[in-house]
Amino acid sequence: MSFIEEINRRRTFGIVSHPDAGKTTLTEKLLLFGGAIQEAGAVKSNKIKKGATSDFMEIERQRGISVATSVLAFEYRDIKINILDTPGHKDFAEDTFRTLTAVDSVIVVIDVAKGVEEQTEKLVEVCRMRKIPMIVFINKMDREGKDAFDLLDEIEQKLNLTVCPLSFPIGMGYDFKGIYNIWEKNVNLFTGDPRKDIEETVEISDLNDSELDNLIGNNAANTLREELELAQGVYPEFDQDAYKDGDLQPVFFGSALNNFGVRELLDCFVDIAPSPRPKESDTRVVDPKEKGFTGFVFKIHANMDPKHRDRLAFIKIVSGKFERNVPYLHVRHNKKLRFSSPNAFFAEKKEIVDVSYPGDIVGLHDTGNFKIGDTLTEGEELQYKGIPSFSPEHFRYINNADPMKSKQLEKGIDQLMDEGVAQLFRLELNNRKVIGTVGALQYEVIQYRLEHEYGAKCTYEPLNVHKACWVEPENEKSEEFKEFKRVKNKFLAKDKRGQLVFLADSMFSLQMTQQKYPSIKFHFTSEF
């Protein structure tokens, strides 16, 4: 197969939603259709020993939530599909934001009963800003929930999207009979038997066909005809270019747990979703079809296998071919590295690959060379943009609870911070370590992983900080900057890259500081 054909048959997408909307279950069922797993793991109860395939960290299995993005790949209808299943919990939003830099399209999962929730709004806003094509999947149709039209209105108003239903539900909850697939013009009947992998599909190109009444009954058939007529009058027709430009969002209905409506979603996705897209770097826009290899690190994960102290850097390939044992330039370090065992993923199962193409995600064994946002190329000096660290919202001192294990603690903190789990600041005044996170649950994850993966124990102490801001002086030698450093000494720290950070203890103090030192800029993301 030629290089261009390999690119065109790739689809790399992320699944995003509020926690509990059924994102991980949908991922499982997509893998089931791709023949990648034989039996999908139940995600319903934390007590079930068999966990979801994409939740492979011990703490995820215990809590029943996803805390890290996992990468899964499978083939379907001769298309190579790469899924990035992201955490839905808001405390892990930073991981999700970074993952969105590595996808070419997104599936947004919405719970029929709860409708659009807060975390979904934030994530969709990021996708809209980046013009990422989105497909909406309304899940749990076998439960009582909101009316289809009310939901579509809510999606349009709250998420600011232009929707276009490509399937439509017949009833809901106890009266759920199935869906009419507008895209393929057929009726899919719902039996409610989760053991059946594929539901019955009946071709019905003409809705006035009496066959429809025989299948679902007169009342349901008449309601469906009225609703579809109304939907076709209200919503725009599907236009693939508008979808790819991020201006139109197709909507599907189904029940991931019952394996219902998932095949329709996957079939349409394979037909319409974009293959790898061009990406902007600091010097130019890079096209996937270029011959020269480029890629960037969007995630680092330590201890994927607890038996081996391994660290993997996840690289999204943007252009050219990535080949095993070929030296590539690490742009930030300006040195060549070669990789003897690059991995492709299926949750925690990994296999060594010789060649990877644009759109693929490759795991590289890392001894500490990589940070999130690093770029690898065949020799060109360029840096990919848009992978910031956000200003944390929670701050605590971290203390060593076992002085015999200080080396392990040091190593553990170092590696977990490289992963982007949280951010480490060292106070200028006394060199004490402060950990800043986006969500409070992160502290539990850090404590758990330090103990179980590094054999180190830590405790926390509260610290009154409102916001961390990266400091950019106009002139480092100016009197104003020297005064700022002297007056604010006890609020200053260095981040992991040695950049100066101001830890403001209140909104008021931050505003006063900004007014008093006008030549100094204060940034809320580290990428400036």
SS3 510: helix
Kind plus residue range of the DSSP H or E element containing 414: helix 406-418
Residues 369/333, Cβ–Cβ less than 8 Å: yes
Residues 314/339, Cβ–Cβ less than 8 Å: no
The residues near 167 (Cβ < 8 Å, ≥ 6 apart) are 179, 180, 181, 182, 183, 251, 252, 253, 254, 261, 264
Which of 120, 94, 92, 106 has the alpha carbon at shortest distance from 18?
Answer: 120
Q: Which residues pair with 281 in a beta bridge?
A: 384
CA 123/CA 21 separation, integer angstroms:
14
- Residue 274 has φ and ψ, to the nearest 5°, of -75, 145
Binding residues for GTP, as ranges, are 17-24, 85-89, 139-142
- Distances from the Cα of 3 to the Cαs of 100, 291, 329, in angstroms? 25, 9, 22
| DSSP code for 525 | B
Q: Return the half-sphere exposure (C-beta side, CA atoms, 13 A cut-off) of residue 461.
A: 8
- Residue 341 has φ and ψ, to the nearest 5°, of -140, 65
Residues 99/126, Cβ–Cβ less than 8 Å: no
SS3 103: coil
Kind plus residue range of the DSSP H or E element containing 125: helix 118-129
SS3 143: coil
Binding residues, as ranges, are 17-24, 85-89, 139-142
| DSSP code for 402 | -
Write the DSSP assignment of 252-280 as a string of letters: EE-BTTTTBSHHHHHHHHHHHS--S--EE
